[in-house]
Structure 1
Amino acid sequence: MATAVTWEDTTMRITVLTVPDCPHGPPARERIDQALDGRRAEVELVEVADEAEAARFGMTGSPTILIDGVDPFAVPGVPASVSCRLYRGPDGRVEGGPRVADLQRALQVADAAADCGDLPMDAAGRAGRGRLAPTAGGLRAVQQAVLRHFAATGRAPGPGDLDDIAASHGRGAADVLAELAAEDFITVDGQGRIRAAYPFSALPTAHRVRFPDGTEVWSMCAVDALGIPAMLDTDAVITSSDPVTGDAITVIAADGQMDWAPPAAVVYVGQRPCTGSAADVACGALNFFTGRRTAHIWAGQHPDYAGKAVDQTCAEALGRAVFGSLLTQSGPA
């Protein structure tokens, strides 16, 4: 059952998923109103009756809040569920819903993602189809196993590392990897070895991400690097360099926030006007720059890429939008 409160000229859709008579549903709705603070939005209240509906809607406990279809508070690895959901704030306190301040921050990120909507990100986002593989044929299970292997070890898994998970879906690992590559969820070489599983690269790139346990990974591009902390729900240190000057750029992700150095750093977002994998079409253009001046210089030197420099908030939002939910959804696509 769903009820909706709608205002005209809305650009944001908020869905509150709850089980019937959930005591945390009304307080969550009130906090959403406080976070909106008068701005226009479409708020839909949806009662979810069983596990199948929870998987279909993307509900991982009651209440689950979706902003434009994305759960900004998703915890990696948590399955769909009609159980009670609790939210832990930065102070460690557990509540039955996200705090107003957390909702406000999530709305700001969603706004930034919407503001970036005119960017040439077709390749990076698979022309609107997203980077999350479908469940059929074990594609999503293998994709997520590949991503977790990269995160844990800093390197790509071999087919042998994926045999068991592929076999559980009645398939061979090589066949699943070939299908994932055909749909541009990963890239492989002529021997079927993984060379990239967006956002990770098995080969050195200009963008390095270090986790608190010391593990380091390469990312395919700047947007990919910015999406990794959200995807893994972890702190991280991102290091890169300006392609024009060689000057260092550092982004420290901690407690859901990012601190950039130098403060004027930006990301250029662009792609070639052709078809192909994101690695071929877009990744060469998604770079960090120390400022807009060097980004414009680089753009002038690379007229085959169409795009523009975007600010830090927009770049962070793009990373979250493309990669943030890759490990939080395990049910049907």
Structure 2
Amino acid sequence: MSWEDTTMRITVLTVPDCPNAPVVEERLAQALEGREADVERIEVGDPEQATRFGMTGSPTVLIDGVDPFAVPGAPASLSCRLYRASDGRAEGAPSIASLRRALSDVDAAGDCDCPPMEAASRGDRGRLAPEAGGLRAVQQAVLRHFAATGHSPETEELDAAAAAHGRMAAEVVAALAADDFLTLDDSGRIRAAYPFSTAPTARRVRLASGIEVSAMCAIDALGIPTCSAATP
């Protein structure tokens, strides 16, 4: 089984006149190597926007709504962002090699022969989230964030994915929770998104990137693509 083919959406968040914006766009073009993708640049002019879009410095690259270079705990920021090259040098944009790795991680998730994450068991009620209203886009952004970081995203980090469909992330997250595609805690934060769990469980999965995540159950563990090992 493989995922339905979808066009990758890449968003480059920058402050106005960021000198590294054209650099990251040129590197993205080389990293994509002709692959079809929707690439757009959004200029962010105030801290509130930076928080809403999940921008932690300029430029920030989102792939399907997820920052693959996210640093846990990094605050929203309009400052210049630095990325470490393979030789340890600080650069103002991700290297072509690191962008290729990030794109390959997305491809690996999409090409995996494991059951797709969106159709995890869920008590024999597995189904794909509908395209309408941005539900599928936001759900995929949640899952990719889990896979990239090992934990759930804040609602504000999903705004870019929801905004592409003219909606607010909090509204879409609530709709996904109402239909049991994910669960929320008492404060409205994402507690689980099948097959991922924020709470530690007996089923730990190590992804190819080295990130470890908890699965809801043994069957859900099989729904996490790019896994290299799962331990009871």
**TM-score grouping bracket, smaller chain normalisation:** 0.5 to 0.7
Which residue is equivalent to 1:79? Answer: 75
CA RMSD of aligned residues (A): 3.6
Which residue is equivalent to 2:11? Answer: 15
Could you tell me how far apart the structure 1 residues matched to 2:42 and 2:154 are? 26
Per-residue deviation, 1:229: 4.8
Matched, 1:97 2:9: no
- Amino acid aligned to 1:33: A
Which residue is equivalent to 2:110? Answer: 114
The one of 218, 223, 227 equivalent to 1:284 is 218
Checking the alignment, whether the CA contact within 8 Å between 2:56 and 2:78 is kept in structure 1 is yes
The one of 185, 206, 211 equivalent to 2:191 is 185
- Amino acid aligned to 1:36: L
- Amino acid aligned to 1:121: A
Residue correspondence of structure 1 range 1-333 to structure 2 within 5 A: 11-116=7-112, 118-119=116-117, 120-121=119-120, 123=122, 128=139, 130=142, 131-132=152-153, 134=155, 179=186, 185=191, 198-201=197-200, 219-223=201-205, 225-226=206-207, 229-230=210-211, 279=216, 283-286=217-220, 314-315=226-227
- What are the Cα deviations for residues 66-124 of structure 1, in whole angstroms up to 9, with x where unaligned? 01111000111101111100001232110000000000000000112223473433659
Q: Aligned in 2, Cα 1:285/1:86: closer, same or farther, shift over 3 Å?
A: same
Q: Aligned in 2, Cα 1:220/1:199: closer, same or farther, shift over 3 Å?
A: farther
Could you tell me how far apart the structure 2 residues matched to 1:199 and 1:21 are? 38
Q: Aligned in 2, Cα 1:10/1:133: closer, same or farther, shift over 3 Å?
A: closer
TM-score by length of 2: 0.59
- What are the Cα deviations for residues 191-225 of structure 1, in whole angstroms up to 9, with x where unaligned? xxxxxx93453xxxxxxxxxxxxxxxxx54243x4
Could you tell me how far apart the structure 1 residues matched to 2:47 and 2:15 are? 10
Could you tell me how far apart the structure 1 residues matched to 2:34 and 2:107 are? 15
Q: Aligned in 2, Cα 1:227/1:314: closer, same or farther, shift over 3 Å?
A: closer
Where in structure 1 are there 5+ consecutive unaligned residues? Answer: 1-8, 136-176, 187-196, 202-218, 233-277, 288-306, 317-333
TM-score by length of 1: 0.43
Could you tell me how far apart the structure 1 residues matched to 2:155 and 2:66 are? 17
- Amino acid aligned to 2:197: Y
Q: Which one has a bigger Cα radius of gyration?
A: 1
Q: Aligned in 2, Cα 1:20/1:198: closer, same or farther, shift over 3 Å?
A: same
Equivalenced residue count is: 166
Could you tell me how far apart the structure 2 residues matched to 1:58 and 1:50 are? 12
Q: Aligned in 2, Cα 1:228/1:92: closer, same or farther, shift over 3 Å?
A: closer
Identity %: 49
